[in-house]
């Protein structure tokens, strides 16, 4: 998927055959998602759609499902999240990562008695049946080796959108141009990584007033270019 993916297991059965099998299945599932959805692979369904070599009835049911999810995300965010590109193309990457990792996390949830922290390119999914939290660090947009905040979580997800990792790669669907904002990153926490990722992207695109983009159950932390931060009221709540 073009990003580092790591899995941290904790508990007496963290090294069990069941836990190891779950991790192998998770990675295999994500490799398959990359094969189908990557816009950088010429043989992927997304690339074939983009070149007009395949119609919607010729791609997998998963691609059609993701297309429906992208349409729902566009409506949820008032158009701030949009997989339709200014040049007429379609790139669901902004939704696929969170959707795929959330779905693959079911492999981990099926293993009893093991706590999990799954990190996919800085977006984190936590599963803690022990109710002992993992501490998630929010990366400093100025210095990838530092964190500017931390968040203790016993479950759910944290996703971050901004320019630190990939530069100015996000566009504003309202203008068709690169996002212009004084915020360097916005992180969103909530029960689902799919929705946390969607909302983090939409909030970053929104710029000023980004907290209004969030929906009930999701909280956010924004980091400004000058290093100041703003968090919504429930950001630190467990």
Domain positions in the chain: 5-231
- What is the pLDDT, as a whole number, of residue 89? 85
- What is the pLDDT, as a whole number, of residue 225? 87
pLDDT tens-digit profile of 205-235?
A: 999 899 999 999 999 999 998 889 999 999 9
What residues of the chain score a pLDDT lower than 50?
A: 167
CA distance 226 to 151: 22
- What is the pLDDT, as a whole number, of residue 167? 47
CATH class entry, domain 5-231 = alpha beta
């Amino acid at each position: 998927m073009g990003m580092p993916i790591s899995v941290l297991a904790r508990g007496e059965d963290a090294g069990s055959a069941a836990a190891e099998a779950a991790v192998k299945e998770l990675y295999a599932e994500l490799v398959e998602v990359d094969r189908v959805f990557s816009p950088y692979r010429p043989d992927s369904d997304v690339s074939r759609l983009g070149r007009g070599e395949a119609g919607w009835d010729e791609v997998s049911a998963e691609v059609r499902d993701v297309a429906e999810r992208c349409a729902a995300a566009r409506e949820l965010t008032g158009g701030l999240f949009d997989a339709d590109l200014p040049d007429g193309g379609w790139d669901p990457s902004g939704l696929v990562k969170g959707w795929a990792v959330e779905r693959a996390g079911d492999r981990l949830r099926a293993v009893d008695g093991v706590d999990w922290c799954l990190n996919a390119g800085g977006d984190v999914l936590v599963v803690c049946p022990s109710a002992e939290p993992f501490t998630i660090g929010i990366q400093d947009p100025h210095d990838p080796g530092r964190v500017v905040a931390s968040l203790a979580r016993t479950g759910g997800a944290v996703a971050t959108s901004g320019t630190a990792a990939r530069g100015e790669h996000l566009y504003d669907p309202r203008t068709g141009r690169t996002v212009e904002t004084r915020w360097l990153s916005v992180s969103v926490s909530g029960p689902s990584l799919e929705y946390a990722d969607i909302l983090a992207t939409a909030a970053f695109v929104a710029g000023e007033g980004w907290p209004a983009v969030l929906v009930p159950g999701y909280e956010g932390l924004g980091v400004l270019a000058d290093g100041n931060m703003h968090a919504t009221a429930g950001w630190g709540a467990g």
